[in-house]
Chains A and B, each alone.
Chain A
Amino acid sequence: MLTTLNYENMVRKVADTLIRAASSCTNDKVNALSKATEDEIIPQSAWAMTCLIENAHEAENSRFPLCDDTGIPHLILETGKELAMPAGLLSAIYEGVALGLKDLPGRPMAVKGNDKERIEQSAGLSSDPSSLPAAPLMLISTDEKVLRLHILMQGGGPEIRAKTYRVFHKHRLETIIDEISDWASESVKLLGCTPCTLAVGIGRSHYEASSLMLQAMLNGNYDVQNDTEHKITESVNKTNVGPLGLHGKHTVLATFLKTGPQRASGVRIVCMRPCCCIEPRKASCVLIKES
């Protein structure tokens, strides 16, 4: 059982983590944008990326949202295999998410009503930012003796353009790379908020592929790209869509790929999400650490 003090500390820590996720860019992301700006040949496209860098600095300094679509909180709980989770932990996490959305402030975009009303958006929106429910919590394990919470804030634009589907791989990695590149090349034309970051998960089911895609967003680093990631990025950059669709060399800054276990079959399930130019919005905190 969490003591009252620990409970309140945990709520505040979760709230601060959510605010950091929504109002700050990682250093590797800012550096990637800076390098792309220096390298860009289209003046308007370079200007767009300069605006993004200035926006990142302003958001971090003022703790104000990077984007008014503050996103849907996606929570990943990383726990040591032998670690006992105290009673009250999930309550503290969800209370912290609500407090973070209130203090950020998050965009008041919880859709009210019953199933039909929510789908049709006919009963309006809640005016309370904290009433926005988080997506179902995901649990992953670690060998560390630690309980760590990761928060991703997922915007709507990339969700319109993302795709989870089967690919018949024909026992060639290149088939998968080509399919992902084709999907991404189509989606970036419509995304608007480029340069994007491609997050990709490859697994055995749609659930698993989507989960791996989220982990790819979490673990991805602009300074560390393997051959497959590099090939996908280069392929999509040939579209010349460029920042904000204004053409140029930098449609995609990087690809974050996570490959999971695979089915003994001729099919792979691939989830590809073209994360917009202010994503990934992510932050992490340690909730419990055992010595």
Chain B
Amino acid sequence: MKTITTPITEEIVKGLEIGDMITITGIIYTGRDAVLPRIVSLIEDDCLQNYGIYLKGSVIFHSAVSTAGVGVTSSNKVEIESSMPVLSKAGVRLHLGKGALKPETVIALNKYKSIYAVQPPVTALLNKKILSRKVIAFAELGMEAMHELRVVEFPAVIAAAHGISIY
């Protein structure tokens, strides 16, 4: 098990291979179907900094956040997967979700020095690993708003790295 602490550097990404089992500790962002296209629009309009969102070296966790906890949703849903190349170009180093990605997405991740990890749906276990949570953008989306989480030892497996997918 490799221990990863955020922010994630390009050197850390270089050292990870598909199949590596990791834990993630530090600050991560959440986003899924509703909010990620909005974040992509902010990047394209160059106004992400107005929201206090700093993507360089970041992790995007494909999850809602609610009183029912957190847990990965399918990353191959259209609005999530299509956001991954733009987010990677903007500095996201690790996308955390579940399910197979398209070959073109895996290629784009490699181009922008980003990787993809998957996690089983273990909401009850993760609940003990979240130290704090807060909404940082698009609060009106409720559980689908972008949240910032401070987490300890979130488990995952690297599923796509350096242009190779485990699927």
Contacts and interface: CB of A to CB of B under 8 A. Distances in A.
**Are A and B interaction partners?**
yes
Contacts of A269: none
Interface of B: 19, 21, 34, 63-64, 66-77, 97-100, 118, 120-125, 127-128, 140-144, 155, 157, 159, 166-167
Interface of A: 23, 44, 47-48, 51-52, 54-56, 58-59, 62, 64-70, 104-109, 121, 124-127, 129, 156-157, 160, 189-193, 243-247, 276-278
Contacts of A157: 73-74
Nearest to A54: B125
A125 B122 contact: no
A246 B19 CA distance: 8
B72 to A, nearest CB: 7
Contact of B74 (A58, A66, A160): A160
A247 B18 CA distance: 12
Given A65-B69, A245-B100, A108 B63 contact: no
A68 B74 contact: no
A278 B121 contact: yes
Contact of A244 (B34, B143, B157): B157
Mostly, the B contact residues are mixed
11 contacts: A54-B125, A68-B64, A68-B70, A68-B71, A68-B123, A106-B68, A107-B64, A108-B68, A108-B143, A125-B142, A129-B67
A259 B155 CA distance: 40
B159 to A, nearest CB: 7
A54 B122 contact: yes
Contact of B68 (A55, A104, A160): A104
Given A125-B144, A192-B98, A66 B68 contact: no
B63 A68 contact: yes
A69 B73 contact: yes
B120 A52 contact: yes
A58 B125 contact: yes
Q: In this complex, which of B68, B69, B70, B143 has the most chain A Cβ atoms within 10 angstroms of its Cβ? A: B68
